[in-house]
Structure formats: structure tokens, C-alpha cells
Chain A
Amino acid sequence: MSDTVSGLLTIAVLVAALAVVHVPLGTWMARVFTDTKHWRIERIVYRLVRVDPGSEQRWVTYAVAVIGFSVVGIVLLLAMILLQGVLPFARGAAMNVDTALNTAVSFVTNTNWQSYAGESGVSPLVQTVGLTVQNFVSPAVGLAVAVALVRGLVRSSGSELGNFWVDLVRGLFRVIVPIALIGAVVLLLGGVIQNLTAPTTVTTLSGGHQVVQGGLVASQEAIKELGTNGGGYFNANSAHPFENPNPLTNLVEIFLLLVIPFSLPRTYGVMAGDRRQGWTVLGFMTTLWVLMLTVVTWSEVHAASGPLGGMEGKELRFGVWPSALFATSTTATSTGAVNSMHESFSALGGGGALFNMMLGELSPGGVGTGLYSALLVAILTVFLAGLMVGRTPELLGKQIGRREITLTALAVLVMPTLVLAFTGIGMVAPLVSSQMLATGPHGLTEVMYAYTSAANNNGSAFAGFSADTPYTNLTLALCMFLGRFAPIVLVLALAGSLVTQRRRPVTAGTLPTHTPTFIGLFVGVAVIVGGLTFFPALALGPLAEALS
């Protein structure tokens, strides 16, 4: 079978699996977040943390809960990392304060940018009780925020957005944990390791000694992908044979990282009582994903040069197509796991992965973040399109007035501001430029990739760029924190503003937000806004490199 045929078949199987699963999963999530009953285990949790699951929160309370919960998470994780030497199971791992802070912020913000080496940087205790807990919790936070925004859009009375604690607990117990369990078993069956044995020392062919780490990898791997986290157990991430042994596990991992983001549009449609609205968002996300996949795959197949063709930096057991598929999907969601080195991609392919992130978690974005980011762009689109049909713009009958457009525009503004400002500073700050591996346009792409990855809470690295310096650790941590929580606060404020509005009835004069025309404009706005913002920077990085 040729690479093209097998590549296309892989994509076809993936798309078919997603198409089948997103319907029941999306509907299930809608049920989870509208259910009036609580599971027994959930009630126990509520009693333990003294939360009244029956009460609902306005946006300010909801936002305070989100931020409070996350900041406490950062502080605890930071303390745990700094104290790992004196805690049990210490393996001699230690981290600088700035690296530790970067790591703590990274895992709480669902970024999983790793300034340290996965297998040796943290002790198994920190890995299990610290990082892994955040791997479960941080996607649940994203899910809660997305659901709060959807409630803002679909509710027509009251001013409450739901209860963050309830949304968090339900997202964990009813969505993330069960699927992660299934995913872990599937990966285990596929050959991913899962053990607690001590590191094995082996003699290599050349006669040297190598320490091979084991660990609870399969369980870690499942949530790493499912929660769009991306932080690898091993430094080589999903390129490591223990994490991702064969094309089948590769496909399962890609499926896991895409499944919740691609199911959430269905959840939105069901909660809105109009499934067509969900189809629109799904159509939007799918179009962007296919577009980016085409660009990256085409460049890797055609534009790669050098003695290895497109194979530089890729695993032989995967090949070009599955590597491009993984790269697109990991940058399309906020996962950031890698099964190949994006640095070694062709200029256009690497630039494609970079632009995929620059779109701002839309194709389809991280767990929860993807849906709310897409809805923000939907609001921008509705604003333009609504005016063009002669009405005050509205989405699901909620008017997009002064307050709504301000919050939306500011939320959309956060990521480009962080990326452009820190890349700009990075290019002239000797602290940063000395850390680049490459020179010229490729060096620029390295720095831009790092800040784009951080501000979008992606976490994938372009490699090459050595980010473990105090300046980069701290600025990247700032990008991750603001890139995550500034939009969250603005999105919740938007939801709070929308929820108080009465839904206006649909008439023939209302702009329908479920037509192909609208989806076309929706995609156009995302691509044009992203493109216009980053075109000059891309022109000096990947484009200059590709066209030289």
C-alpha cells in the first residue's frame, strides 16, 4: 500500500470514528450538564468540600471560583515540585524555582509545556499526585467554562450560569474519567506500557549503558490526549515507543485528543434546542481542521528536502502522513503532544502547525476552550453578518450589543497581544535570541512557536529553542496564565451579560446561523482575522524560509 493510500485510509478511519462517536458523546455531555440529579459519589464530594450543589452562581462568582480553584492548583503544584526532594519517591529530580513555576502554571492551564525532561525532571509522586491530577482537572475547568457560556446563550431568564463546582465534578466523573479509563485500557492492549517496576539498565549495541524508565504510562497517555494536555511521561512524548508503540496506538491517541472537542458542538446544539446550531460549529471546526491538515500534509509530502525527504524528525514506524495528521491534530486542539519533531518539518509544514495554533484554538481547540473560542468567533461573525442583513446582530436570539462585542473583541485580542508582544521582545532581547538553535527565519519561527504555543495553552514545542532559562520560563508562564484565564474571565462576563437577555424570537428577517453561507463566512472571519494578525510575522518566519 502506498503512503498516500494508507495515509488517506488512516484519516478516513479517524473521521469515521469521530463521526460515529461525537453524536452519543455530545448528547451525553449535554445531559450531564443539564441533569438535575447528582450521583452518590458526587454528593460525597460536595459534602466533603461543603458546596451546595443546588445553588447556582452568577458570572462573577463563577469566575472567582474558576480562578480561585486554578490559582490554588498552581500554588499546590509549585510547592509539591519544589519540595519533591524531601517528599517520598524522590529520585533525585530537582527543579529551579522558575522552571517549577513554569511547570505548575503549564499543567494547571492545560498547556503542559515542559521546560524539563519528562522522565527525569519530576518524581513519580509529583507526576501522579500533581501533574496527573491537573491533567484531569484542567480540561474539566475548560469544559465548565464552555458550558457556562452555552448556558448564557440558551437561558432566557435569571442571571445564573450554573455552579462551577458541580460542572467541574460532573465533567470529571461523568465525562473525563470514564473515557480516560477506556482509553487507557485500549492503549494498554495496543502495547503501551503500564508498570511500577524500577528503572531497567540495559547495555546498548555500542556497549554503553542506558537506564530505561518504566511507569504508569498507558493511564497517563490516555488522559494526556483526552484532556488535550500533551505533557508526556517521556521527554520524547508520543514519539517514544513506550508511549506510542505502533500506528494503531497512534491513531487511538489522535482520536482521543480530538474526540471531546469535536463532540462539544453537538452538546451545544442539544443544549440550544436546535441541533443545526451545533452542526454549524462542527462544520466550522471541521473545515479548519481539514484545511490545516491539507496544508501540513501537502508540505510534508512535497516540500520536504534533504537526504531523508520528509522523514527528518519523524518516526519510521509512523511515516509522513500519520506524523502530519498527529501534528495537525495536536496543534488544532490545545494538546501539544507530539509524535514527531515540528522543528524538522518543512518550512510551510511547520508554519502550518504554527498557524493552526494562531487561529486561536478553533480547529477544534482544546476541551471546552475550543467551543468557547469558536463561539467567540461566531459572535464576531454574527456581528458582521447581522449588520449585513439589516438587524441588530443576534446569536440564538441574544443581541450582540456594546457590552457583548466589547467582551468578545477583548477575549479575542488576548492571544495575539501576548504572542506578538513577547515574540517582538524576544527577537531583540539577547536573553532569548541566544537560546535559539537556528538563525534567520527559522530562529524567528522557533521563538514565535514557543510563545504561540504558550499563549494558546498548546504546549507543543518546536524543539530547537532552549526554553529553560529564567526569562523564558517566566514569560512563557505569564503567557500561559494570561492566555488561559484572561479569555476565561471575559467569556464568563460575556455569558453573564447574555444570560440576562431575553431570547428574541426567530423571524424571516433573523439571520439564520445554520446555513452553508454562514459557515462560509464563519470560516472566512477566523482565517482572515488570524491571517491578517499574523501575516507579517509569518512572512518573516516560515514564509521567508519557504520562499527562499
Chain B
Amino acid sequence: MNPSSTTQSSRTTPGSGPAARSRHARGEALIRPGRTSTTYAQLARQLVTTFPQAVAKLDPRHVWRSPVMFVVWVGSVVTTVQAVVDPSWFAWAVAVWLWATVLFANMAEAVAEGRGKAQAATLRATRKTTTAERRLADGSLETVAASDLAIGDLVVVRPNEIIPGDGDVVEGMATVDESAITGESAPVIRESGGDRSAVTGGTTVLSDRITVRITTKPGETFIDRMIALVEGASRQKTPNEIALTILLTVLTIIFLLAVMAMQPMAIYSGQPQSPVVLVALLVCLIPTTIGALLSAIGIAGMDRLVQHNVLAMSGRAVEAAGDVSTLLLDKTGTITYGNRRATELLATPGLGNDGVTRAAYVSSLADETPEGRSIVELAASALDTPSREALDRLPQAGATFVEFSAATRMSGADLPDGTAYRKGAADSVARWVKGLGGEMPSGVLTEVDGIATSGGTPLAVAVQEAGQPPRVLGVIHLKDVVKPGMKERFAQLRSMGIKTVMVTGDNPLTAKSIAAEAGVDDFLAEATPEDKMALIKLEQHGGRLIAMTGDGTNDAPALAQSDVGVAMNTGTSAAKEAANMVDLDSDPTKLIDIVSIGKQLLITRGALTTFSIANDIAKYFAIIPAMFVVLFPGLDALNIMGLASPRSAIVSAVIFNALIIIALIPLSLRGVRYRAVGSTALLRRNILIYGLGGIMAPFIGIKLIDLVVSHLPGMM
């Protein structure tokens, strides 16, 4: 039997439960300004405010980053020149709307960046210039600027002082206000040694004095990296984004060829086309919608993670999250509450339930461990009010409590009449009972074995009435309680194609029973860090991508090895260094959200690419007849939208092409909704909405725009 059966579970993840619960109770959260959706009014405001930035981004060196938009930019210049040389309402209308297309793309990017900039500004405000008290080798202190600190320096921080840089506590223990980073107003404890030694620069010590060893160079601290991340300053194109850009570039080349080859054919046919018309056709055909929104989608994806209080150190990790096929989850704190709870009181065969209930209640009143609390709760619910109140009055009646100690592994109460109640690990109680001349009934032993076999922890309850040998009244069944809703979440993950593996230090028996209860696919029992590493490598060898969470230094190698490693913010700096994401809430179930965000990012890109290409069909039907209807009147049969005139048809297509960018900015910032359904259902749904929708939408849109445009001067 587990010798620490009545002590608090040895490995809990501090803050995991409370963080989840306090999400609503949180004070002024800096990182999460509580916006889940953007209204169109807000968007309009954002668009107006980002206008100057959008104009600044017209710089060809910037536009060049998106080959599709660069083609539009060149087209805008060409049409503008043409409009100046040979002015007409039509040429100017096309030129203006082409510039608008580029501007709208820039605005989309600027709006996405703007959100990060606001967060960065808030963060920067908290990063005041600080000084540090550096401890020298002889133990004396000198005051230096925080920016002059070097890795390995020891600094002393007192209450109400700001910690000058990232580091580990090497001496002392203190409560620290980390709200600057986490938005969590409740202070946390940081102490030397163990897994709670990491402190972050910019956070404030509230009580006590600690000595910190600096582990990061000034300018590369956590807050600095956070600012760079949310600002998008260090943003690099992710692998999938690059692949998509290549595909879009090749599509652009194909359309460039198609349009270029058209002019000689038009000349042969007897109706050369003006450069304005050809540019308009080209811009309508190349995938401008996705080309314009691609970078906004990427920025918004990272931003969505930040909104979930997760910092990704690279966009690559976010993409990889969408591909994860195995999740390694620590049992404690993630799947279970992290401490065992009493779930059942079993009376010794032949004795009534009342005895064991009362005894369990009394003997646990002084047990302040979570297990003890849960016994009191359970017993209280089984007692009627008068008898419970009677038992509650025992201390006043002179009862003395025996507190739990690691040596006896029992707690209990001695009543004034000489009756002694004891509760504790079954073997300890057995020893106590036998030492005083009592017997361990075989029925109780059977119950104890049964509980142990099922993966639970059996506690025995005994009483010794004055002058008599002690009697065992029954057994308390303690077990790890799986958090509610886990089974559903794992089922959801399964339907997403993700296998869950529970990692625990428990023996295989216990692990198996909890795994079955929680509905995980697999478990790793009695896991050592080496076992964890071996499991990751094995899964990766099979071509699977692994995500895991961790907080301890011994998790660091596994975090580094896994494809998506999420470190808890409460964890050690080694863990945070090794991981590619940090969860500021320290909530291990966040992995599931991270996977969804990764998938959402890819889905949004795919959906808008499909939409963009599908749009071309309608644009052909608008522009091709417009170009050649004079030459081949029969081609008017292709003008199925019944557009008013060739000019209005072309201008309407160009306007639609520009406006659709604005219309889709909210979607690209919010992301296409991801549902945890099978991939075929997901594909069918997205093809229906973005494929068929993409074919239909411009037919309607262009027609509506044409109804307006055809009334403008020079359009008939």
C-alpha cells in the first residue's frame, strides 16, 4: 500500500484548479481585455484608425512580401498612369478601386497588428525602469540599473520592489504579484528549490525578502519576448503559410499568362484590349482575397492564443498544434483534482453504517488535509442534522483531537469519557488495533483489498471504548476523482483524431482504473521522466506529433522533445525555456484549446483560399463577355448576370473584389469556427460554405454592385 496514503498527494500542480475557477473573478486583466468578438462598429473604428498605417504600407518594399498583392500594386500603378495619360471615368474608377484593394489588404494586416500593439503598450507600461540590488561575492549589496545585470548575478528583492529580471529564487520565499503578466490578481508563492522557484522580471514582491539568481539577459526577458510576440515584430512566415504563398504565387503566374496570352488573341480577333481592362481582369482572377488576408489570419491566430493567455514562442508551434495526434496529460491536476477524495464509507460486516459514519466524522474533524476535509463532507452528508450538531459540540465538551502526523499516519479524537476514535492508513490502524489487543476482522481486510485493487486508497476507522479492546468500524474509500466533463472532452479529442495518454506516478492498477474512468485512450503508470521521453520518441517514430504540458525541471527534456510543449507559467524557468508555449493560467487542460486554435488557423486559410478561387468563375462571366461582346455579340449569352454595360460589368467586378476583403476581415480575425467533428463532415461543411458559397456569392454581389454602378457617369 502506498505509504503516503493520508498525506496530500505529492505532486500537484499549483494553481491549476484555482486559475480555471478564477477566470471570471479576475481583476483588471492586462492581457485579456475580454474581447471575444468584434462588432462591425468596432471594426469600422479600427479600420479608420489604421488608415494611416495602411497608407504607409503601400511602400512597395512592404507589399513585395505578398506576391499576389504586389501584382495588384503594379496593376494599380499601370492603370493610374493610363488614367492620367488617357483620362476617362472608367479608367479612373478602375485605378481608384485597385488602390483600394491594396489599401484594404494593408488595413486588414494593420487591424490584426493593432490588437497586439495595444497589448504591447500595456505591457510596456509595466516595464518601468528598475534598479537592482546586486549582491557581491563578499555579501555586500550594490545598486545597479536593471539593464546592467548579467546572467548569474544575485539580486536581493524586498517587499513592494519589482523583480529586476527573470531568474530563480535561490534564498527565501515570498508572495509575488504576477498580475502584470497573467492578469491574475491573487498573489502566488515563490520559493527557493523545487518547482516554484522561477520568478519573472517586472512582477512585484509583496511580502518577504528573496534572493534571485538572474537567468536571462536584460532585453531578452519574458516580458520583452512577450512584447515582441504580441506586436508581431518577430513574426516570421510559418511553414504552411510559406507553402500556401507558393501555391498562390503559382496561381498568380498562371493567370498572368492567361491574361497576357489574351492580348495577341484579341489582336488577332480584331479587338485589342486596353491595359486598364487587362489589369482589371488580372486582378479579379488572381487570388487577392486570400492574398490580402493571409498575414492578418496568421497574426490573428497568434493573437487568439494570447487571448487564451497562452504565449507561443513561434508560429510554427501553433501550426504544429493543429497536427497533434497524441496528447500526453499529467493525471494530477489535469485529469483528476489532484487529491484523493472520500467517496464511500463501508461498515465492517455485521456492524451498522451509523457507527462508521460517526467515527469517520469525529476522527477527521482535526484533519486539515484535503482528504480529511472530503471525509468530513462525505460523513456530514450521511448524518442527520441533530447528530451532526451533537458531534460538532464535542470540542466544547472536552474532546481532544489527535492531529495527523506522518509518523502515526492516523488522526482521531479522544473523548472525555475515554472513547478514542482513530482513522488512518489501513495498516497503521491495524497495528494500533492489534497493539491494544483488538482484532482486524477478515471482512474488513477483504474490503481493504477490494479498494486497493480498484485503484483507490483504503482508510480504516476504529474506536476504542474505555476499557475494551479497539474495534474496527469500517473502511473509507478514498479515490482520485476525475474532473467532471473530462470523458466528454476526451471523446471530443478522439473524434478530432487525437489520442490521449495519461501520465502518472501511480501504480499500474490505480492508473488503469482512473484511465478507464476518465476515458483516456492509454496511460503510462509509474512514469519517470525517462519513461516519458521514451514514450514521446516512440510516438514520434510512428510519425505522430506529440503535445504535452509540464512545469518541473525534470519535464524540460520531454517538453523540448515534444512537438508542442506547453509550460505552465508557475513552472521552473528550465521548463519554460524548453517549451515552445507558456500558459499564463497554468491550466493543463488548455492544451485542448491550443489544438483547436491551431486547427482553426489552418482551416481559415484553406477556407478563404477556396473561396478566393471559387470567386473567379463569376468574375469570368462578368468580364469576358464585357471584353468581347462587341466583336462576338453571341458572347452576350455568357452575361448571365445581365450586367448593364461592359464598363459597369468590369468596374463592378473590381469593386466586388475589393469589398470582399473588407467583408472578410472579421472572419479572418475571428477564424472559421472549428467543430470537433470528423474530418469528412468538416470538409463537406467547409466545401459547402466556402466552395459553393464562393461560387455563388460574387454572382449576387457583382449584380448588386452593378445596379448601383451602372448609374454612375461614364459607365454606359
Chain A residues within 8 Å of B, Cβ to Cβ: 380, 383-392, 397, 400-402, 404-406, 409-410, 412-413, 416-417, 420-421, 423-428, 433, 440-441, 443-444, 502-505, 507-512, 515, 517-518, 520-521, 524, 528-529, 531-537, 539-541, 543-544, 546-548
Q: Is the CB of B617 within 8 A of A537?
A: no
A-B pairs, top 6 by smallest CB distance, nearest first, are A509-B497, A387-B606, A390-B599, A547-B634, A507-B497, A424-B261
B543 in contact with A427 (CB, 8 Å): no
Binds A, one of B147-155, B398-406, B474-482, B674-682: B674-682
Q: Are B242 and A402 in contact (CB under 8 A)?
A: yes
In angstroms, Cα B607 to Cα A421, docked, is: 32
Tell me, rounded to whole Å, the shortest Cβ–Cβ distance linking A483 to chain B.
15
**B325 close to A507 (CB less than 8 A):** yes
Residues of A within 8 A of B325 (CB): 504-505, 507, 509
Among the listed stretches B262-270, B383-391, B512-520, which one makes contact with chain A, having 4 or more residues with CB under 8 Å of it?
Answer: B262-270
Cβ contacts under 8 Å, B543 to chain A: 397, 502-505
The B interface, classified by DSSP as helix, strand, loop or mixed, is helix
Assuming the contacts A392-B322, A508-B495, A510-B497, asked whether A536 and B259 have C-beta atoms less than 8 A apart, the reply is: yes
A-B contact pairs, 25 of them (CB 8 A): A392-B322, A405-B246, A409-B251, A413-B253, A424-B263, A427-B268, A433-B268, A441-B632, A508-B496, A509-B325, A509-B496, A509-B679, A510-B679, A517-B683, A517-B687, A518-B683, A529-B254, A532-B258, A532-B613, A533-B255, A540-B632, A546-B634, A548-B632, A548-B633, A548-B634
Residues of B within 8 A of A531 (CB): 617
Are B254 and A427 in contact (CB-based, < 8 A)? no
Q: Which residues of B contact A423 (CB under 8 A)?
A: 261, 265
Q: Which B residues lie within 8 Å of A540 (CB)? A: 262, 265-266, 269, 628, 632
A391 touching B261 in the complex, CB below 8 Å, given contacts A428-B268, A509-B679, A540-B266: no
**Which one of B268, B269, B606 contacts A384 once the chains associate, using CB atoms below 8 Å?**
B606
Does A402 lie within 8 Å of B603, measured CB to CB? no
User: Which A residues lie within 8 Å of B266 (CB)?
Assistant: 540
Q: Of B243, B261, B498, B631, which is within 8 A of A507 by CB? A: B498
Contact A534 B258 (CB under 8 A): yes
CA distance A401 to B239 in the complex (A): 7
| Cβ contact within 8 Å between A390 and B250 | no
In the complex where A387-B603, A528-B617 touch, is A416 in contact with B254 (Cβ < 8 A)? yes
B690 interface hit (Cβ, 8 Å): yes
Q: Which of B293-335 contact A (CB under 8 A)?
A: 319, 322-323, 325
The chain B residue sitting closest to A525, CB to CB, is B613
How many angstroms between the C-alpha atoms of A509 and B268 in the bound complex? Answer: 52
Residues of B whose CB lies within 8 Å of any CB of A are: 239-240, 242-244, 246-247, 250-251, 253-255, 257-269, 281, 285, 319, 322-323, 325, 494-499, 541-544, 598-600, 602-603, 605-607, 609-610, 613-614, 616-617, 620, 624, 628, 631-635, 637-638, 674, 678-680, 682-684, 686-687, 690-691
Contact across chains for B614 and A547 when beta carbons are under 8 A apart: no
- Are A390 and B265 in touch, CB under 8 angstroms? no
Closest-by-CB residue of B relative to A389 is B679
Residues of A within 8 A of B616 (CB): 528, 532
CA distance A291 to B581 in the complex (A): 50
Closest chain B residue, CB of each to CB of A410: B250
Contact A389/B603 with A517-B683, A532-B255, A532-B620 known, Cβ cut-off 8 Å: yes
* Bound Cα distance A53, B179 (Å): 69
- Smallest Cβ-Cβ distance to A502: which chain B residue: B543
Which chain B positions have C-beta within 8 A of A392? 239-240, 319, 322-323, 602
Instruction: Give the distance to chain A from B238, nearest Cβ to Cβ, in Å.
Output: 10
Contact (Cβ within 8 A) A528 B614: yes
A388:B634 contact, CB within 8 angstroms: no
Chain A residues with Cβ below 8 Å from B680 are 512, 515, 517
Known: A427-B268, A428-B268. 13 other contacts (CB 8 A): A380-B247, A384-B609, A405-B246, A405-B247, A406-B243, A416-B258, A420-B258, A427-B264, A517-B684, A517-B687, A521-B691, A528-B617, A536-B259
Q: B619 — nearest CB in chain A belongs to which residue? A: A532
Interface centre among A404, A423, A425, A543 (most CB of B within 10 A): A543
Is A388 a contact partner of B606 (Cβ separation < 8 A)? yes
- Of chain A, the residue at the smallest CB distance from B271 is A540
A540 to B680, CA, bound (A): 40
Residue of B nearest to A394 (CB): B323
Q: A389 near B254 (CB under 8 angstroms)?
A: no
- Does the CB pair B265–A444 fall under 8 Å? yes
Q: Counting chain B CB atoms within 10 Å of each CB, which of A410, A427, A534 scores highest?
A: A427
Q: Are B620 and A535 in contact (CB under 8 A)?
A: yes
A515 to B687, CA, bound (A): 14
With A390-B682, A392-B602, A428-B267 given, is the CB distance from A402 to B494 under 8 Å? no
> Which residue among B260, B607, B614, B624 has the maximum number of chain A CB atoms within 10 Å of its CB?
B624
With a CB–CB cut-off of 8 A, which chain A residues contact B257? 416-417, 420-421, 533
